Chain A
């Protein structure tokens, strides 16, 4: 069985993000980039599934500029077998990504696609679900546990009320939550080996997909600063303020 793991290059989680002065987006020039943390969890899970003998090959894929090769190399160094870059300068939205991934799935025929539930830049939380709908495959989103049971995969999902376990028939889509696993430290010998693993580069046109945006960003702003709090004398005063000033009770 093949596993496809789509991953995204985002601003490193430790970097403080600034909005561009013209409000057109966030500053990304010369900023440290890294693999989206949820995607790292997805790669880790795929490797664990392979190590447990349920998969024979892991393909990592990303869609973006040629610089995105660095996260593919990281995925290869973690343990993926080969990589695909769909190279484009365009800023793509989840639907376009899902369509491109669908085309790749049709070419590569994996039985399982594992994605991060969301990317920490735009927090869309859509790509996995859209891909599932486009392919007509089962989906287990927000996974905190993944177990293989002959031909089925049981996914424990983190939902508002607690945990829900679903059983999916393969082929299927899984999206990862933070508690699924802790990604391994990349080993030095594997960094060296990753350099020699295959990395194919395609462009959206090769796949015949229209990646035009359906959405227009009007502006991006820094969240409003929180005003300083005030100290109240007692609960009585608090109740009074909640009722009469905030009018929430």
Chain B
């Protein structure tokens, strides 16, 4: 078993210095979210993570999920952990106080979610999906549905799933076939969904499925899909549980990772039709589901941050313990952390993880600003920024997590390849993050087509200006580290600016251009955004190091060096992505399918 402790110091740094808690708590309804309260919340979440969730991470992976006589059972300990989680009130963190929530900022929820994901990613998928569903119902459902279902979801007594995928409809949801027929005040749903995470389990007494299906008179394609709420057990108007609905798990998948998270084939309406209730308007289901998916996309980015942090902690502990070889600077045999190449790997893990953390929390603040501000222009600005950042953050963080969790194994040498060590689990678990909630390819396309081309580069240009302002502030600082960071950072910003111009200049003439360069474009955007946050970190660190009353000098010195490492080792990738982008589609599309 490997231990986990939440990196509360760094979380606090990001929350207070980069995600500007002091501005967030000036928003209407958020005045309670002060730094001391947030610290207490992080400390207690850390305790829950390390004492309740982390200890069942490896055992859950080894035991896996059980499917027995039509029911799915989570691994030993998962149900008790969920019970403790619910009793401690964590599911309600960011929700409406009028429905039993605690009304805390999304940004804080993001930080707390990182802790759950680090501690036990497979387990955390269950509350993660429920959280997304609450936001979707809150935004789109009728009041009667909200009143009946939301309190139990906010308390965590019931959980939710997201049912999009069918065997012929994965990335392309237009191909969905599941049918819905109106019958009085409800609908009957029939069809089969695959890959449904936590589709059935024994953690909660009821499960609510959010299901995409097609009405008989629906237009073809994505404009003909509607969203339905299908409870496992029907709920009486007084809130008590009634009959078992006609929705059942058919089987569970055997997977590369997240073994403790059931991935179910779900069958709707095998006997007489599963009763469902419309959420939002008919034929507008995909738009409603996007509320959930956008939430889930940031949540998956946070998941990849969490798993990277966990892999780093484990690799670091091993590097300080394993004795192998000699070093240039020390007598005798040394622990491997003394070897420069091991340092390189640890620094990459550390810098990458810290950049992801900053970017995820800062992105979440756009949700708080847009949800709460009364200033319309400010609201629009943050809605656009969030829409732009979501695919970049999801795509880049989840891809970087592959590299980081892989390095986690590398640092362990042969022991990393041995399952018992636990380092391999992080890589196996991380692997799904680039696939679900829209693959990397789909994120990249969303970024280039919908977020850049469609608004003619307006939002990203204003983001580039903000990034240049950070560069200007950095250039005013008179220390060597800041100068070095500034030089790499400005080069990377201009690489992104050049890529944006190239895309806008070329997408019309070469229809294959956007699809060919979208991955590199997404990675470029993520890398530069990460660099932006690290540059901001370096500015804060510089100021704190020059402040005589600051006692945490060591922390800020480390932060500054980590930012410099990011600038010297990760930011140069920007130029390489740009170089590829400028080559366009030719070498990708030249040979025909038979020539492969």
The residues of A with any CB-CB pair to B shorter than 8 Å are 14, 29-30, 32, 34, 69-70, 73-74, 77, 185-192, 194-195
Tell me, yes or no, whether B20 is within 8 Å of chain A by CB.
no
Cβ 8 A contact of B84, one of A32, A34, A185, A191? A185
Q: Is the CB of A188 within 8 A of B551?
A: no
Give the shortest distance, in Å, between B568 (CB) and chain A (any CB): 27
Q: Is the CB of A187 within 8 A of B552?
A: no
A selection of 11 A-B contacts at a CB cut-off of 8 Å is A30-B552, A30-B555, A69-B36, A73-B40, A186-B88, A187-B87, A187-B89, A188-B88, A188-B90, A191-B41, A192-B37
Interfacial residues of chain B within 21-46, with CB under 8 A of chain A in the complex: 32, 34, 36-37, 39-41, 43-44
Q: Is the CB of A14 within 8 A of B44?
A: no
Cα(A7)–Cα(B37), bound, Å: 20
Cα(A66)–Cα(B87), bound, Å: 32
Chain A residues in 8 Å Cβ range of B39: 70
Chain B residues in 8 Å Cβ range of A32: 8
The 4 closest A-B pairs by CB, nearest first: A188-B89, A187-B89, A189-B89, A186-B44
Cα(A188)–Cα(B102), bound, Å: 8
Q: Is the CB of B32 within 8 A of A192?
A: yes
Tell me, yes or no, whether B150 is within 8 Å of chain A by CB.
no
Chain A residues in 8 Å Cβ range of B74: none
Give the shortest distance, in Å, between A188 (CB) and chain B (any CB): 4
Q: Is the CB of B44 within 8 A of A185?
A: yes
Q: Is the CB of B552 within 8 A of A188?
A: no
Tell me, yes or no, whether B5 is within 8 Å of chain A by CB.
yes
Cα(A71)–Cα(B43), bound, Å: 11
Cα(A192)–Cα(B32), bound, Å: 8
Q: Is the CB of B551 within 8 A of A30?
A: yes
Q: Is the CB of B40 within 8 A of A70?
A: yes
Chain A residues in 8 Å Cβ range of B47: 185-186
Give the shortest distance, in Å, between A232 (CB) and chain B (any CB): 26
Cα(A84)–Cα(B167), bound, Å: 63
Main secondary structure of the interface of B (DSSP, over half): helix
Knowing A30-B551, A195-B32 are in contact, say whether A188-B92 is a contact too (CB < 8 A). Answer: yes
15 additional contacts (CB under 8 A) given A77-B40, A189-B89, A191-B37: A29-B551, A30-B551, A70-B36, A73-B36, A74-B43, A185-B44, A185-B52, A186-B44, A186-B88, A187-B88, A188-B90, A188-B102, A191-B41, A192-B102, A195-B32
Chain A residues in 8 Å Cβ range of B32: 192, 195
The residues of B with any CB-CB pair to A shorter than 8 Å are 5, 8, 32, 34, 36-37, 39-41, 43-44, 47-48, 52, 84, 87-90, 92-93, 102, 551-552, 554-555
Cα(A146)–Cα(B37), bound, Å: 33
Q: Is the CB of A195 within 8 A of B554?
A: no
Cα(A189)–Cα(B37), bound, Å: 12
Cα(A14)–Cα(B313), bound, Å: 15
Cα(A185)–Cα(B50), bound, Å: 12
Chain B residues in 8 Å Cβ range of A191: 37, 40-41, 44
Q: Is the CB of B88 within 8 A of A185?
A: yes
Chain A residues in 8 Å Cβ range of B40: 70, 73-74, 77, 191, 194
Give the shortest distance, in Å, between A69 (CB) and chain B (any CB): 8
Residue of B nearest to A34 (CB): B43
Give the shortest distance, in Å, between B264 (CB) and chain A (any CB): 30
Q: Is the CB of B41 within 8 A of A188?
A: yes
Residue of A nearest to B40 (CB): A191
Looking at A34, A70, A77, A186, which has the most chain B CB atoms within 10 Å of its CB?
A186
Give the shortest distance, in Å, between B238 (CB) and chain A (any CB): 25
Residue of B nearest to A194 (CB): B40
Give the shortest distance, in Å, between B61 (CB) and chain A (any CB): 24
Chain B residues in 8 Å Cβ range of A195: 32, 34, 37
Looking at A32, A34, A74, A188, which has the most chain B CB atoms within 10 Å of its CB?
A188
Cα(A130)–Cα(B555), bound, Å: 41
Chain A residues in 8 Å Cβ range of B102: 188-189, 192
Chain A residues in 8 Å Cβ range of B88: 185-188
Give the shortest distance, in Å, between B146 (CB) and chain A (any CB): 21
Chain A residues in 8 Å Cβ range of B90: 188
Give the shortest distance, in Å, between B553 (CB) and chain A (any CB): 9
Looking at B34, B37, B52, B552, which has the most chain A CB atoms within 10 Å of its CB?
B37
Cα(A104)–Cα(B444), bound, Å: 65
Cα(A136)–Cα(B37), bound, Å: 40
Give the shortest distance, in Å, between A95 (CB) and chain B (any CB): 30
Cα(A70)–Cα(B35), bound, Å: 12
Chain B residues in 8 Å Cβ range of A77: 40, 44
Residue of A nearest to B93 (CB): A188
Residue of A nearest to B48 (CB): A185
Cα(A191)–Cα(B37), bound, Å: 8
Cβ 8 A contact of B44, one of A29, A30, A69, A188? A188
Cα(A195)–Cα(B32), bound, Å: 9
Chain A residues in 8 Å Cβ range of B34: 195
Chain B residues in 8 Å Cβ range of A186: 44, 47, 88
Give the shortest distance, in Å, between A214 (CB) and chain B (any CB): 30
Cα(A74)–Cα(B40), bound, Å: 8
Chain A residues in 8 Å Cβ range of B554: 30
Chain A residues in 8 Å Cβ range of B8: 32
Residue of B nearest to A195 (CB): B37
Give the shortest distance, in Å, between A225 (CB) and chain B (any CB): 16
Cα(A126)–Cα(B60), bound, Å: 45
Cα(A29)–Cα(B552), bound, Å: 8
Cα(A54)–Cα(B44), bound, Å: 28
Chain A residues in 8 Å Cβ range of B87: 185, 187
Cβ 8 A contact of B5, one of A14, A185, A190? A14
Chain B residues in 8 Å Cβ range of A192: 32, 37, 102
Cα(A194)–Cα(B44), bound, Å: 13
Give the shortest distance, in Å, between B486 (CB) and chain A (any CB): 28
Cα(A77)–Cα(B88), bound, Å: 11
Give the shortest distance, in Å, between B549 (CB) and chain A (any CB): 13
Chain B residues in 8 Å Cβ range of A187: 87-89
Looking at A73, A192, A194, which has the most chain B CB atoms within 10 Å of its CB?
A192
